[in-house]
Amino acid sequence: MESYTISDKGKILNSLGREYVESITSDQFNKAGKFDLRKRTAHQIEIANEVVVRSESFVYVVAKEMLHGRGWKMGGNGRVSLKGFNVGMKELVPEGIICVLENLHNYNPEKSGMTTFIGYQVASRMYDMGMKYTDIPLSRNDFVRARSAVKRAIENGDNLQEALFSNFIFERGERMDRGALGALALGTNMASARNINGPAFLDNPYGDSWESVYLGDNACGPEKCVEELDIVEKVRGVICSCNLSERDVDIIESHGRGITFKKLSEKYGIGIEGIRMAEKRARKKLRKPLEALVV
């Protein structure tokens, strides 16, 4: 058997992965036997966050290799590559991080190390994304505005859940507010943290606090904010569970990106009023499930 040396970073990741899977209980699975991310404990979320922070540079390497290198080696299944695909690093890296969050419970410490596991999972997810990419946009400016709103709510002693709830509801005549996604993601995390001045990472109790990491002047953008990416995945899950047609999903997401009803009308060959009604029906189906994310 080929021998190799595990780096200190690899050992820490392996330890975190083992701790995460060993903390999972049977009641965290739904009737279909699928792990329910909504049932994760606060401790499990902290572990997952730290895994993502420590593996982010590796996810970046996987994306770069798939776009510009020889592709990513998938064990005995050859390599996967995205050379020539209409997708970039700014889409792949966040998707890879979401993949880590979503699949961490599948890690088997007896079969592989965390980097092997993450590399396989992330490369598979990135390849699927390259084949069919659905975008829910979150720009740096959206994140900054959302962060400022959350800071004001905390400083003023406002009820963060109520503030997010009122900010997230779709008003008649207004299109989907992209910034609300950032506020929802950030605020949900902050509202669930008992002490925002407490440590953000398990192995450094005297290090950066949750407030400095997610609300400080040097806080990361959406591509690095674990909770924000997590909530985007939850929103995607809601959209998938509401039995919307591909056309309706495209209409509501495209309009959220600023594409006009006129252009969508030309794309689908139906009148502008038909596009408007399709978006209205889709929003009606999505409203209660999305509101439930902050209740």
- Own/partner long-range contacts of 147-154 (Cβ < 8 Å, ≥24 apart): 147/182, 147/186, 147/214, 147/215, 147/219, 149/183, 150/183, 150/186, 150/187, 150/190, 150/215, 151/215, 153/187, 154/190, 154/196, 154/215
Closest CA to 254 of 167, 176, 168: 176
Of 103-107, 121-125, 171-175, minimum mean pLDDT range: 171-175
61 pLDDT higher than 70: yes
176 pLDDT higher than 50: no
How far is it, in rounded angstroms, from Cα 170 to Cα 287?
8
How large a percentage of the chain has pLDDT more than 70? Answer: 55
What pLDDT was estimated at residue 114? 92
Q: Is 281 helix (H, G, I), strand (E, B) or coil?
A: helix
pTM value? 0.46
What pLDDT was estimated at residue 138? 40
What pLDDT was estimated at residue 14? 92
Please, what is the average pLDDT of the chain? 70
178 pLDDT higher than 90: no
50 pLDDT higher than 70: yes
Average pLDDT over residues 136-158: 57
Residue 104's pLDDT band, with cuts at 50, 70 and 90, is very high
Q: Is 250 helix (H, G, I), strand (E, B) or coil?
A: helix
Q: Is 72 helix (H, G, I), strand (E, B) or coil?
A: strand
Average pLDDT over residues 204-231: 53
Query: In Å, how far from its chain's centre is CA 16?
Result: 20
Return the DSSP state at 26: G
Query: In Å, how far from its chain's centre is CA 285?
Result: 22
Residue 1's pLDDT band, with cuts at 50, 70 and 90, is very low
